[in-house]
């Protein structure tokens, strides 16, 4: 179930490498990257009956939801029978926010007999082990900034908002919302970075973590070379991610880019640097 | 105790209009607007003893803290005796975040015998009564967006972060951090606004409210003509502020600008439009 971003292609490659048969299902108007040229099932949310049928016809037993999908604008007039039956359940979940909606959607697919696998279940190498992975190491001030940013992300969880924050010298330069981490880092580079209390002081840390209530059947937050580039442009000291809660794409290039820029990447367990 | 922004000058005018003697105290390097040409006491945080003495010499009995002040970079070598004695108290409060720091600072001034008055105590017209103040009224979708944004601001309070959020069609386009409301609105105009799920759907609402734990002795959040201009540029439907918790500067121009742009301004009590 392929959405935006590089994760679906990455997973497809990993799964193909494991010798598994992979089919990409793409929402109409949201074609995913498909560098492996895998078979594709296109679908519309209005025609869930058709989607379930096509998945079964392709022999699909397990589903991985990977990559973001914009909330589609629905055309109720073209609902098939299945979508019509499921609509009240989805619409009622939508009132509870994105997490509740996603949970309802996953429950529906499971109810249709498909097993849901998280991306990090099928490609466990995506989750780096705790520790500092780069030549640069976080200093005491960076550790404090990371801890503060982690508290902010945790507080936001109650409101079903983003999964990242940038803190420098103890102050919150930016908090992630719908536009995502890259947009937040661009905002720090262009505007918010000038608000560091001491221009010559600690540069600040990007922290990313999963929302505590997040359904682990879907993809965890991700960092990769794009995140490193954004953090460098924002002038940060480094990136801290919650251990076991954030995936790293293209690990070799991500770490090489960070090392080249003198940035640290710290897979952070609660507590100090480990 | 005059900081950045238009609030100090506004208060000075209001107080002068009440026939009161007003003195502006400005932190060195942070001169405040002073259109009334009021007497000014310059101070440095390193010399709090000198500040207290100057305030007493000017006959000051009541203090209003108004406008933002950047956390100063301190030079311990030039601390006077008073600052040296108070430093441990302030430094220990700084570990608890901006709110705790501010509380400690206010306590110190009170301990020196000055009464702290909130801006809205000395100029009560700054706090508009509940209701919709503009020709445009929030619709049902706007009310929902305002309620969601209010929940986000409340959740952030626990992490001592900003006091505003922008929600459109149920999704959080932006969350306020240190750079403030204007920077957040510019970010919505330039970047985040494109993330509205339905480009033709509800435009979204800026909600501002005080942090629930905020010390009411200092200035509440503020909106004014600049906020309206930012909201218009961000393409929002309107602005909702927490009743009794957000001040409106230059009310006549703020409302005229909003009416000219078809924007609503809603002083929101928890619950529906009142």
Contact A219, A187 (CB under 8 A): no
Quick: pLDDT tens for A84-98.
Answer: 999 999 888 887 777
Kindly list the residues from chain A whose CB atom is less than 8 angstroms away from the CB atom of residue B74.
none
Instruction: Give me the pLDDT at residue A272, please.
Output: 44
Interchain CB distance below 8 Å, B173 and A177: yes
Residue B271, pLDDT > 60, answer no
DSSP SS3 for A151: helix
Of chain B, the percentage scoring pLDDT greater than 90 comes to 60
pLDDT band at A125 (very low <50, low <70, confident <90, very high): confident
Residue B9, pLDDT > 90, answer no
Interchain CB distance below 8 Å, B175 and A178: no
pLDDT band at B68 (very low <50, low <70, confident <90, very high): confident
DSSP SS3 for B155: helix
CA A153 to chain B, closest CA, distance in angstroms equals 9
- Of B62, B52, B69, nearest in space to B117 by CA: B62
Residue B76, pLDDT > 50, answer yes
- Of B27, B24, B69, B66, nearest in space to B44 by CA: B27
Kindly list the residues from chain B whose CB atom is less than 8 angstroms away from the CB atom of residue A177.
165-166, 172-175, 192
Interchain CB distance below 8 Å, B73 and A98: no
Residue B274, pLDDT > 50, answer no
Instruction: Give me the pLDDT at residue B260, please.
Output: 98
Fold of A7-122: Rossmann fold (3.40.50)
Quick: pLDDT tens for A98-107.
Answer: 778 888 999 9
Residue A155, pLDDT > 50, answer yes
Beta-carbon contacts of A50 under 8 Å, excluding residues fewer than 6 positions away, are A43, A44, A80
Q: Per residue in A104-141, is it b (16+ CB within 10 Å) or e — as a string? A: bbbebbeebebebbbbbebbeebbbebebbbebebeeb
pLDDT band at A262 (very low <50, low <70, confident <90, very high): very high
Contact A45, A74 (CB under 8 A): yes
Kindly list the residues from chain B whose CB atom is less than 8 angstroms away from the CB atom of residue A170.
94, 97
CA A147 to chain B, closest CA, distance in angstroms equals 11
Instruction: Give me the pLDDT at residue B272, please.
Output: 44
Residue A274, pLDDT > 90, answer no
Residue B273, pLDDT > 70, answer no
Instruction: Give me the pLDDT at residue A198, please.
Output: 86
Quick: pLDDT tens for A194-221.
Answer: 889 888 999 999 999 987 767 777 778 8
Instruction: Give me the pLDDT at residue A225, please.
Output: 95
Separation between Cα atoms, residue A192 and residue A234, nearest integer Å: 9
Top mean-pLDDT range of B5-9, B27-31, B218-222, B238-242? B238-242
pLDDT band at B136 (very low <50, low <70, confident <90, very high): very high
Contact A167, A145 (CB under 8 A): yes
Quick: pLDDT tens for A158-208.
Answer: 787 878 999 999 999 999 998 899 999 999 999 899 889 888 999 999 999
- Of A10, A2, A19, A30, nearest in space to A222 by CA: A10
Kindly list the residues from chain B whose CB atom is less than 8 angstroms away from the CB atom of residue A183.
187, 191-192
Kindly list the residues from chain B whose CB atom is less than 8 angstroms away from the CB atom of residue A171.
71, 98, 178
Would you give the distance in Å from CA A66 to the centre of its chain? 8
> For A97-122, what is the mean pLDDT?
89
Instruction: Give me the pLDDT at residue B175, please.
Output: 95
Quick: pLDDT tens for A241-252.
Answer: 999 999 999 899
Closest partner residue to A197 (CB to CB) among B71, B154, B162 is B71
What are the start and end residues of each CATH 3.40.50.20 domain in chain A? 7-122
Q: Over B164-232, what HEC string results?
A: EEEEECCEEEEECCCCCHHHHHHHHHHCHHHHCCCCCCCCCEEEECCCCCCCCCCCCCEECHHHHHHHH
What are the start and end residues of each CATH 3.40.140.80 domain in chain A? 127-268
CA A75 to chain B, closest CA, distance in angstroms equals 13
Q: State chain A's mean pLDDT as an integer.
A: 90
> For B52-70, what is the mean pLDDT?
91
- Of A211, A225, A108, nearest in space to A150 by CA: A211
Residue A234, pLDDT > 50, answer yes
Using alpha carbons only, give the angle A181, A182, A183 rounded to the nearest 5 degrees.
Answer: 90
Residue A50, pLDDT > 80, answer yes
Top-confidence residue, A130 or A29: A130
Helix (H) or strand (E) holding B92: helix B81-94
CATH architecture of B127-268: 3-Layer(aba) Sandwich (3.40)
pLDDT band at B4 (very low <50, low <70, confident <90, very high): confident
Instruction: Give me the pLDDT at residue A273, please.
Output: 44
Would you give the distance in Å from CA A149 to the centre of its chain? 17
Separation between Cα atoms, residue A260 and residue A135, nearest integer Å: 9
Beta-carbon contacts of A63 under 8 Å, excluding residues fewer than 6 positions away, are A1, A25, A55, A109, A114, A115, A116, A117
Separation between Cα atoms, residue B147 and residue B271, nearest integer Å: 8
Interchain CB distance below 8 Å, A191 and B183: yes
Q: Nearest chain B Cα to A165, which residue?
A: B177
pLDDT band at B141 (very low <50, low <70, confident <90, very high): very high
């Amino acid at each position: 179930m392929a959405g935006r971003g590089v994760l679906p292609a990455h997973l497809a490659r990993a799964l193909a490498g494991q010798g598994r048969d992979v089919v990409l299902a793409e929402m109409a108007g949201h074609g995913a990257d498909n560098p492996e040229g895998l078979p594709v099932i296109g679908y519309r949310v209005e025609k869930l009956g058709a989607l379930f049928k096509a998945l079964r016809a392709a022999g699909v037993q397990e589903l991985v939801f990977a990559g973001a999908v914009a909330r589609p604008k629905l055309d109720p007039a073209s609902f098939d029978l299945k979508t019509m039956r499921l609509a009240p359940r989805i619409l009622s979940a939508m009132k509870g926010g994105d997490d509740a909606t996603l949970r309802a959607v996953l429950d529906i697919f499971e109810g249709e007999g498909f097993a849901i696998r998280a991306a990090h279940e099928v490609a466990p190498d995506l989750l780096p082990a705790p520790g500092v992975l780069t030549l640069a190491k976080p200093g005491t001030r960076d550790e404090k900034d990371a801890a503060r940013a982690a508290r902010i992300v945790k507080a936001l969880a109650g409101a079903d908002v983003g999964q990242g924050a940038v803190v420098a010298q103890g102050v919150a330069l930016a908090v992630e919302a719908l536009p995502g981490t890259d947009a937040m880092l661009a905002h720090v580079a262009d505007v918010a970075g000038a608000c560091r209390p001491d221009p010559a002081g600690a540069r600040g840390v990007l922290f990313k973590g999963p929302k505590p209530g997040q359904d682990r059947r879907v993809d965890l937050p991700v960092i990769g070379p794009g995140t490193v580039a954004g953090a460098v442009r924002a002038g940060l000291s480094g990136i801290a991610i919650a251990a076991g809660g954030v995936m790293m794409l293209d690990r070799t290039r991500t770490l090489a880019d960070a090392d080249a820029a003198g940035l640290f990447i710290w897979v952070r367990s609660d507590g100090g640097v480990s």
